[in-house]
Structure 1
Amino acid sequence: MSDLQSTLPTIGILGAGKVGTVLSRLLLAAGYPVHIAGSGSPAKISLIIDVLAPGAVAMTAADVARTSDIVILALPLGKYRSIPADLLEGKLVVDAMNYWWEVDGIRDDLNDPRVSTSELIQSFLPTSRVVKAYNHMGYHDLDEGPTPAGTPGRKAIGIAGDDDLALSDVAALVDASGFDPVLVGSLRDSIALQPGSELFGANFTASGVQDALTRFPTTERGLEVAAAREQEIAA
């Protein structure tokens, strides 16, 4: 381990799919030690990781949760109850998951406009500090888009959470991985990063992300969310 790696937090990634392996490469390039788990055994995942994210260490999900300082959730959202919640007590957890009905099935609980999916994750991990990040940019753009801080036209990643220190730590992680962090707001506000929003799938600069956030309340999805939440309050 290099001197740089020994001073940086260990990043754990639950999910060895396209997003998980791209994030592994970005964070390894930034000097972070990375532990990763997939749906198969560590021995099987190692064969994939050696090709797609050389330098990352394949482990079981439990060992990733146990040995990492920051854990990124990059698995299908419908499998969130498989996350080892007891091993994430007190830890910073980055929610990079999205609801895909093609993968997760028709799930009204994962597509409720009254509640962001990160709020569901925070409820499932009540003692963890959950921050939404890395979910709204396509994996190709994540892979091809990182640039040093200060680069003109640098792309941006929206982050949202309820804990100021956790937000600061994730902002540093996003910046180190090659993107400008843009504060979206609370976990409740993170619904503006989910599928159906202008930001989802977007590859914007920081100003572009801010502009899209400003427009969100007037968009079809933003109006749907506002109406559903107003009905909930009225009830």
Structure 2
Amino acid sequence: MTTIGLIGSGNIGSTVARLAVAAGHDVVLSNSRGPQTLEELVAELGPKARAATPAEAAAAGDIVVVTVPLHAYSAIPAGPVAGKVLIDTNNYYPERDGVIAELEDGSTTTGELVQRHFAGASVVKALNNIWFEHLRTLARPSGAPDRSALPIAGDDTAAKKAVAGFLDGIGYDTVDIGPLAENRRTQRDTPVYVAPYGAYGVPVGTPAGAQAVRDLVAAA
């Protein structure tokens, strides 16, 4: 089993951690406030989890998950992530992140901004289009008829294979939508964003299979 290093342990990060531990992975959690603020979550997760600094989580992870507000990614040291597979879950919300001209004019995407900062890593955009409660409730074993799928985008084939394997282990099929630039098709307010998995605010989600996800991505 791989070790998952989490930079950011909020709603998505903590949900990924719970699913990863349930699947047998070790997890190393971090946030901007310090390891001591994660003691309760680590205690809940048990012996396969520990808290650390972001740099330590990055160094420990075979796969590193960066799940912080978009305005905060550039403050994360890039060095410890070099050579790693990095899952980027970020979305752009101007009211929270401030206006980012490159995203407003469509000349780049959130995934490409993250890849630019973490130039030595292989960035795969994933887990950005599903509400954390649906991520928790829709996980299903491989082969289940009501299994949901999540889109992934990236420029490194091996990195996408590693991410697909991890997502399979925590309960999801994947739909490879192509290079990292194609993550524009899964961002906020696109057809595949949140709604296919059920109503926001209602924790019990609605399964969305691979073909449904392909169709919605194509419609973006």
Could you state the TM-score of these two structures normalised by the residue count of structure 2? 0.90
With over 3 angstroms needed to count, the CA separation of the structure-2 counterparts of 1:20 and 1:111, relative to structure 1, is farther
1:213 paired with 2:206, answer no
1:75 paired with 2:68, answer yes
Q: Which has the higher helix share?
A: 1
- Tell me if structure 2 keeps the 8 A contact 1:21–1:49: no
Aligned to 1:160: 153
2:184 and 2:7 map into 1 onto residues whose CA distance is: 22
Q: CA deviation at 1:131?
A: 0.5
Q: CA deviation at 1:50?
A: 2.7
Residue identity over aligned pairs, in percent, reads: 34
Letter in 1 for 2:12: V
2:2 and 2:49 map into 1 onto residues whose CA distance is: 14
Aligned to 1:233: none
> In the TM superposition, what whole-angstrom CA distance separates every residue of 1:31-78 from its partner, at most 9, and x where no partner exists?
110001012121122234434x44421101111111111100111111
1:79 and 1:112 map into 2 onto residues whose CA distance is: 21
Letter in 1 for 2:25: Y
Aligned-pair RMSD on alpha carbons?
Answer: 1.4
1:106 pairs with 99, 111, 114, which one? 99
Question: For residues 14-53 of structure 1, what are the structure 2 equivalents within 5 Å?
Answer: 14-51=7-44, 53=45
Unaligned runs of 5+ residues in structure 2 are 198-207
2:145 and 2:114 map into 1 onto residues whose CA distance is: 35
Unaligned runs of 5+ residues in structure 1 are 1-7, 217-235
1:62 pairs with 40, 55, 75, which one? 55
1:91 paired with 2:84, answer yes
1:188 paired with 2:162, answer no
Aligned to 1:230: none
- Tell me if structure 1 keeps the 8 A contact 2:140–2:146: no
1:178 and 1:210 map into 2 onto residues whose CA distance is: 18
Could you state the TM-score of these two structures normalised by the residue count of structure 1? 0.84
1:63 and 1:100 map into 2 onto residues whose CA distance is: 28
2:40 and 2:75 map into 1 onto residues whose CA distance is: 23
Number of aligned residue pairs: 208
- Tell me if structure 1 keeps the 8 A contact 2:23–2:170: yes
